Amino acid sequence: MTPLQTAPEWTAAAPAIILAVTGLALLLIDTIDPDTSSNGLLAGLSTLGSLAAGGVAGWFLTQGTGMESSGGAITLYGDALVIDGMSLFFTLIFTSVAAMVSVASYDYLAGRRYQGEFYSLVMFAATGMTLMAMSNSLATVFVSLELASLPSYALVAFLKKNRGSIEAGLKYFLIGALSSAVFAFGISLVYAVTGTLLLPEIAANLSVSSDLVGVLGLGVLMIAGGFAFKTASVPFHFWAPEAYEGAPAPVSAFLSSASKAAGFAVAFRVFTVAFPLGPVTSLNGGGVDWSLLFAVLAVVTMTLGNFAAATQENVKRMLAYSSIGHAGYALIGLAAITTDGGAANGHVLGASMAHLLVYGFMNTGAFLFIAMVEKWGLGRTFADYNGIASKAPIAATAMTVFMFSLAGLPPFGGFLSKYFLFLSAIESGFWWLAAVGAVNSALSLFYYSRVVKAMWIEEPSEPLEIGSQPVGLYVAVIFAAVGTVLLLPGFRPVIETAQTVAAALF
Amino acid sequence: MVPPQYYLVLSAAIFCIGIFGLLTRRNALLFLMSVELMLNAANINLVAFSYYWGNVTGQTFGLFVLALAAAEVAVGIGIILTLYRNFDDVDVMNATTMRW
């Protein structure tokens, strides 16, 4: 018996508990001494909390907590939470993004008010995301989704006197409130048909004959709509460009990486566990072929995201649309699941999870580079980026790594994750999804390379003035760049872990 | 006993009224009220089918939905207040500094 197997069961939720306690501690420090609490202490504490939660999740993952090797998934609180390999894998994504964002916020928040609130909101949102990945009941899915969303609304509107930030917060909030209402109604319809909210029991009760089976299909569609909002996929993607552009850049980084991954975590679990493809499609009169639905959404999402990104002049907005495009790639994980897929289902879902991990590093890094440019007071368009490399070569090199990795060029992590994603889609028989993805990746190279060209080749129209060298932002950006590069040689353990834990869902 | 289908019709009607209000009103506060209608439509379903199935899962979840709706309004009102301070209006169509 290892020490982990003798520990009480509730300790399996330690990553979420650590994040929540960190958030509360930040609030406490800020309450005791609101005027003089130091930015460094707050940033350090929230970074430490995220790293500790991530470290525990990584330790659990290597020890096999909640996996086949040590007795299967651990369920807590009347099966409402489940800790298995998948929830721990996603926890790693959320906590690493939260750590990078906390470090970067140290510089971004310098001289601003309400620092304690900012860090604690980030921690509470991260808690919500971790709980989303652990949810095993539609009730906890809804509550944790709101726990992740409500702090995010406040964070987007954090710059109270900046019109762009308020507008972004308003739009994010309005569409978020709408989609959570649709989501709640979908849950109530599923409950009406199955009489339970626990995911495995929903699957078991699907076959119970009922007069209301047509209602179930509608409920499943509405739940899919809720996930489309959280992952910024078509048709609920409208908020994303506005929210990412207007929000403080570290918040954009947090939302577009961690929040999107959280949406996928919960969508993967709900659709594979509660609505397994075979029984759901074969219901008389109420069947929904959600794999086909997600295939259509994946194609539309990646095409729309990439084409819209190609037309942008504003770098932050370009990244926002590219993040919609990447939601389309990750959707392949759900779209390529087939009734008789067997091992191929686990492969494609795992590849999608591994892509989200790599995306967590490269996309967070790209948005944090934008935060650095905002800190320097340069403009937001491509032309304003002209010649940055001559003044800040290290940061520009990191940004180049992120851009080429996002585009999926070979020497970086983004290449392998996309390669495995498309390969496993072909393995499942969805060669056309892989083809659309590959064409879109090629197109994306156009707008990603524009940033690189502006930074390294173009001459600035007027001499660049770069004031300070923000230490925290540099640390976070370089950490993200090193992560992106190291994920190339280190991709084998990542993809193997992801595919193993994904296979456990089927 | 009223057949459960009737509750579905009632809740669907309230949900649609909410959607209609949301699409036609430009005042942010009325938008919030419309969302509230949609959430309460979900609550009607939860409570009615909690009785139908003979378990309290639905009723309990209904309480959670109520609490979350209140929390959502609290954050929403805060954002709408800052909207009013920045744009001198709570019309959701006025806040258009960003365009694609």
Domains of chain B: 4-87 (1.10.287.3510)
For residue A459, the one-letter residue type is E
A458 touches chain B (CB under 8 A): no
Nearest chain A Cα distance for residue B80, angstroms? 7
Chain B contact set for A171 (CB, 8 A): 95
Nearest CA in chain B to A166: B83
Asked whether the CA dihedral A429, A217, A270, A296 is positive or negative, the reply is: positive
Q: Do B45 and A177 touch (CB under 8 A)?
A: no
| Interatomic CA distance for residues A103 and A97, integer angstroms | 10
DSSP state of A314: B
Closest C-alpha to A241, from A177, A318, A294: A318
Other C-beta atoms within 10 Å of A40: how many?
11
Least Cα distance to B26 among A174, A177, A235 occurs for A174
Give the minimum alpha-carbon distance from B69 to chain A in angstroms, rounded to a whole number.
9
Rounded to whole angstroms, the Cα distance separating A377 from A383 reads: 14
Residue from the list A166, A197, A312 with its beta carbon closest to the beta carbon of B82: A166
DSSP label at A459?
A: P
CA distance A157 to chain B (A): 7
Q: Any idea where the domains of chain A sit in the sequence? A: 290-506
Alpha helices in A64-162 (DSSP H): 85-108, 115-134, 138-156
pLDDT score for A284: 60
Please give the structure tokens belonging to residue A232: 């910024």
Residue A185 has pLDDT above 90, yes or no: yes
Cα A331 to Cα A325: distance, rounded to the nearest angstrom: 10
Complex confidence, ipTM = 0.94
List, for residues A347-372, the tens digit of each pLDDT value.
889 899 999 999 999 999 999 998 88
Instruction: Please report the DSSP string for A342-391 in residue order.
Output: THHHHHHHHHHHHHHHHHHHHHHHHHHHHHHHHHHT--SBGGGGTTHHHH
CA–CA min distance B9, chain A (Å) = 11
- pTM beyond 0.90: yes
- Please report, to the nearest 10 degrees, the dihedral formed by the alpha carbons of residues A34, A40, A43, A44 taken in order: -120
pLDDT in tens, B17-76: 999 998 888 888 998 999 999 999 999 999 998 988 888 899 999 999 999 999 999 999
Alpha carbons A395 and A388: distance in angstroms, whole number: 9
- B18 vs A274: CA distance, rounded Å: 28
Q: A281, exposed or middle or buried, with CB in 10 Å at 0-12, 13-18, 19+?
A: middle
pLDDT of residue A2: 56
Kindly report, residue by residue over A57-114, the tens digit of the pLDDT: 888 888 877 776 766 778 888 888 888 888 999 999 999 999 999 999 888 888 788 8
Q: Do B95 and A163 touch (CB under 8 A)?
A: yes
pLDDT at B100 over 50: no
CB-based contacts of A448: which residues, under 8 Å, 6+ apart? Answer: A322, A403, A404, A406, A407
Q: What does the pLDDT read at residue A285?
A: 57
| Chain A residue closest in CA terms to B83 | A166
Best of B5, B75, B96 to disrupt the A interface by mutation (most A CBs within 10 Å)?
Answer: B75
**CB distance A146–B71 less than 8 Å?**
yes
Cα–Cα dist A480/A139, whole Å: 35
Contact map slice: B 33-92 vs A, CB within 8 A? 35, 38-39, 41-43, 45-46, 48-49, 52-53, 55, 57-58, 60-61, 64-65, 68, 71-72, 75-76, 78-80, 82-83, 85-87, 92
Structure confidence by residue, pLDDT tens digits, A382-391: 888 888 888 8
Are the Cβ atoms of B45 and A178 closer than 8 angstroms?
no
Alpha-carbon distance of A197 to A136, in angstroms, equals: 9
Establish if B14 touches chain A: CB-CB under 8 angstroms: no
- What dihedral do alpha carbons A261, A152, B94, A177 form, nearest 10°? 80
Q: What tokens appear for A243 in the block?
A: 């929210």
Please, which pLDDT band fits residue A4 given cuts at 50, 70 and 90?
A: low
d(CA A141, CA A407): 32
Mean pLDDT, rounded, for A198-220: 78
Q: B-chain residues within 8 Å CB-CB of A188? A: 11, 41-43, 45-46, 49, 58
Q: What is the pLDDT of residue A133?
A: 92
Is the pLDDT confidence value at A464 over 80?
Answer: no
**pLDDT greater than 70 at residue A172:** yes
